[in-house]
Amino acid sequence: MSSTGDKVKGMANEAVGNVKQGVGKATDNTKLQVEGKVQEKKGEAQQAVGKAKDAVKKAVDKS
């Protein structure tokens, strides 16, 4: 997957995770809150992968 694809997918997962957490809090559903937190962290990791790919590509392009 491209760096842009990783970042976009990461942002989407982070957003869905935040929504799940909010719904979980509103409905007092601990399981949904935890699922949301896990999905948010997954999204953050995907974005980090995308940024790392960008950094590698820039370093390779400079050499």
7-55, pLDDT tens digit by residue?
A: 999 999 999 999 999 999 999 999 999 999 999 999 999 999 999 999 9
Q: Residue 62's pLDDT is what?
A: 85
Q: Residue 46's pLDDT is what?
A: 96
Instruction: Name the pTM for this structure.
Output: 0.84
Task: List, as own/partner pairs, every contact residues 8-14 make where C-beta atoms lie below 8 angstroms and the sequence separation is at least 24, other chains included.
Answer: 9/43, 9/46, 10/42, 10/43, 10/44, 10/45, 10/46, 10/47, 10/48, 10/49, 10/50, 11/43, 11/47, 12/43, 13/39, 13/40, 13/42, 13/43, 13/46, 14/39, 14/40, 14/43, 14/44, 14/47
Q: Residue 25's pLDDT is what?
A: 97
Domains in the chain: boundaries: 3-62
